[in-house]
């Protein structure tokens, strides 16, 4: 399956006094890219929640390489690099549209829980969803 990159135009409120994107916004962009990724593969996060599945963040990492400024357009590639039915890890690559440079790289890891907070195996409880994730996993 070909998953399209998430596109974002930097808003003024996302920048500091120098017009540079504040570091905290990249984590928000990762979340937007992840939700878009999940929607594209056929399992919107809202649908998962309606089914009683939640996926909290276990960790997030961000490495800054190039500055991004107000009104720049960036493309965020989200790749599912680890998945076992209980946990997943997504890698993010943020590229500036204007020059093609990688601005930021990062990752986030998540688990799957039921609404009571119990660990959930998608492979056992939701095999149709499990297959959707398995079909897009990149082995690294």
Q: What ranges make up the beta strands (E) of the chain?
A: 6-9, 53-54, 57-64, 73-83, 87-96, 102-111, 113-114
β pairing state of 113-114 and 57-64: unpaired
Give whole-number Cα distances, 41 to 91, 118, 130, in Å: 16, 25, 11
CA angle 56–31–39, rounded 5-degree value: 90
Q: Is 16 a catalytic residue?
A: yes
Instruction: Name the phi and psi angles at 47, rounded to 5.
Output: -65, -40
For residue 77, what are its two tokens? 């590639």
The catalytic residue among 16, 72, 99, 114 is 16
Q: Supply the residues annotated as catalytic.
A: 16
């Amino acid at each position: 399956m070909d998953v399209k990159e998430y596109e974002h135009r930097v808003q003024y409120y996302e920048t500091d006094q120098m017009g540079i994107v504040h570091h905290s916004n990249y984590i928000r962009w990762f979340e937007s890219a992840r939700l878009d990724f999940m929607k594209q593969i056929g399992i919107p996060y809202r649908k998962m929640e309606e089914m009683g599945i939640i996926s909290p963040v276990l960790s997030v990492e961000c490495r800054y390489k190039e500055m991004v400024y107000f009104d720049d357009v960036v493309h965020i590639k989200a790749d599912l690099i680890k998945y076992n039915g209980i946990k997943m890890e997504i890698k993010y690559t943020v590229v500036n549209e204007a020059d093609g440079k990688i601005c930021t790289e990062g990752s986030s890891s998540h688990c799957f829980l039921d609404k009571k907070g119990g660990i959930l195996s998608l492979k056992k409880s939701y095999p149709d969803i499990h297959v959707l994730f398995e079909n897009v996993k990149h082995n690294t």
